[in-house]
Structure 1
């Protein structure tokens, strides 16, 4: 079968389809493959690698909404407003290799045969680097995990909020911070014992995890203090998460038995706001809400 080549394929600014007639021959040239490998090897950080991969996809094909999800990492790159068509790829699931995760593409228009073929070729170049990135994420998860509740710890929060602010600066994403603590936690420990107190911390961590989206992250800073990073976020996001938290607490029999309650404060990131300032604003809002609750009683 005759193959019609696009001679401008290697031009980074070119975003039109690479081929117009299907061929069994590779769509990516040797030069394209080398560029792809060099780009993907720039970082072991999963988000940076996937961000670079999304740029390559847009370069060699066209922009898509891209989402990758696995046990040790999540990436989402929304660009298009209308997502009429979806294509899923299970990466690394052939032969005896375990599945690394699922890559999802969303498009305003149908996917062509050549686009499927090109994405498959790009995935073949991505997978070896992705394995290293996911292993790196797994090792980081062990370092950054709170060993009591299995959510992020303070060190993970400090690193994540720094990157979240960088990303909001770069991509104009909304970013909100929620600070939470358990009301009368000392009384719970004194009344029911520290073992029960640990169980309450675990239950509350589960409540928070169930109440957020996959793109949001929950952390335990220490004691009974928790933080949630919402990104992307709008002012209404806080109200939605707050409502889900209240519903999850109400549905938790163990927490209802001890008349459990928690206080919440929040802040919204604006250009020029540092991580410290963002936390201080949310923490101040937390104590204002606590004071208001005491007055209303």
Structure 2
């Protein structure tokens, strides 16, 4: 399997991280990712870090966070202290966002989800296809990007809720040369051409969240000195966004190792809502860490 093969991997100063969100119980897919991260660091005499991605303060809870520690400890994993918790580093993300705004690469986006849906529906009703990202979500319309400065200021003065979005076209135009990432997940090293344009104008922050996953993950990886990002194939295409943000913010680019996913009976990747695959539930059923290794194919 992709990242399970240790051939052609960097061998010096390796730092990996497992970065779950405490918004539900860990499942078998998380176990695979955590064990692969720890195993890579161990085999290369590197460092294994744990990061708690708790940007979403409405869904993340202390109980779920404690569950993460309990599950990982049960699996036999240990990690460096202190654990980085995103909720304690909002200023880091705010500084990065301010830099992108100052570069005129981010704009306030006022459309609600309902308004976006209506624009997309109206366009598709005419027979015109609407661009969608690799996850199937429609690209954000250009309406807010085309507003005059006066219109934006009026809306901001009226305290209209908005999100900051990356002006993808402008951001890509600043690049000098091809945008690549180094991928090791296939068992051999390859340079992959990144295509961030397929994601449209991604969110950088919202009124209810000081940073998006995309912005916070590249800041965290840089500040923690992560050299090797080991994560599931569901984030493979999102690497294009991360490489773009790293380039714009002058951040180092880690190596990437995208591994196979653990799928449920329906053939889809596991969800935290599926209690039958939760590590705590499996532990309560009498399963052992060795059973978990077997269930995830290690």
- The TM-score bracket by the shorter chain reads under 0.3
| Higher RCO structure, 1 or 2 (CA under 8 Å, sep 6+) | 2
- Whichever of the two has the greater Rg, that structure is 1
TM-score by length of 1: 0.24
Question: Which is helix-richer, 1 or 2?
Answer: 1
